[in-house]
Amino acid sequence: VKNLMDYSIGWADTSVKAGDNYKNSEITLLNKVDDLGSFTGPGLLSPFNPYEFHHSAEFIRGFSNCIPSLNINVGSYVLDSGSGYSWTTEWFMKMGVHAVGLEINRTYLDVGRRRMGLNQPHLIIADAENLPFADGVFDAILGFDAFHHIPDRPKAMRAFERVLKNIGRVVLVEPGGAHEMNAISQSVMQKYGTMEIGMELSDVQMYIDGI
């Protein structure tokens, strides 16, 4: 009952900071899931899905496309922002990269830990707009199908810039500007209250203006 009240008050209270309602929805998303096992089950095999070949192939291809753009190597430090079930963080670790997975929802990370066992990278519950890291510690930042969930994207970009070394890169894998018009996206936004607003390159330019 308390969770339901907090959720309803959050949406009705205009005094809350813009975007906090989306973050609250991300944090409490699993409370709105009808079948938790079916929802989180794929996380135990991520990025593989034995029933969705093309889904698995797109994930793997997307990650492979990121590698050259990140400009990293063995021993590099990478922030995996919005890591979800953190298979990307895990793969970085297996490639000799010092990876930190950051996710606002604890349940996703718990599922990732179950999949990885004892050998796992650092997984941290935090907000991408307010990164809990010292300045200039990462060589690169990856946002894999995650940045479109962030309410205040210019603030997140400024946070990314702060924790990057002087020469560092941010790589985003995103579904595009029409993402929110997709029927599935609209259904997700209505049911879970999360942000599903896409972006184009011109939008990204606006996020980084002034940095």
Query: 18 falls in which pLDDT band (50, 70, 90)?
Result: low
15, pLDDT greater than 50: no
Min mean pLDDT across 9-18, 148-157, 170-179 is at: 9-18
User: Does residue 14 surpass a pLDDT of 70?
Assistant: no
CATH architecture of 2-208: 3-Layer(aba) Sandwich (3.40)
pLDDT-based confidence at residue 82 (cuts at 50, 70, 90): very high
3-class DSSP string for the chain: CHHHHHHHHHHHCCCCCCCHHHHHHHHCHHHHCCCHHHHHHHHHCCCCCCCCHHHHHHHHHHHHHHHHHHCCCCCCEEEEECCCCCHHHHHHHHCCCEEEEEECCHHHHHHHHHHHCCCCCEEEECECCECCCCCCCEEEEEEECCHHHCCCHHHHHHHHHHHEEEEEEEEEECCCCCHHHCHHHHHHHHHHCCCCCCCCHHHHHHHHCCC
**Angle (CA) 157 151 59, round 5°:** 75
pLDDT of residue 3: 55
Give the mean pLDDT of the chain: 88
What is the pLDDT at residue 127? 96
Predicted confidence band of residue 8 (pLDDT cuts 50, 70, 90): very low
pLDDT of residue 9: 43
Does 41 score more than 80 pLDDT? Answer: yes
For residues 105-115, average pLDDT: 94
Beta bridge partners of 144: 173
pLDDT of residue 84: 95
For residue 20, the model assigns a pLDDT of 85
Domain ranges of the chain: 2-208
pTM for this predicted structure: 0.86
Q: Is the separation of the CB atoms in 85 and 66 below 8 Å?
A: no
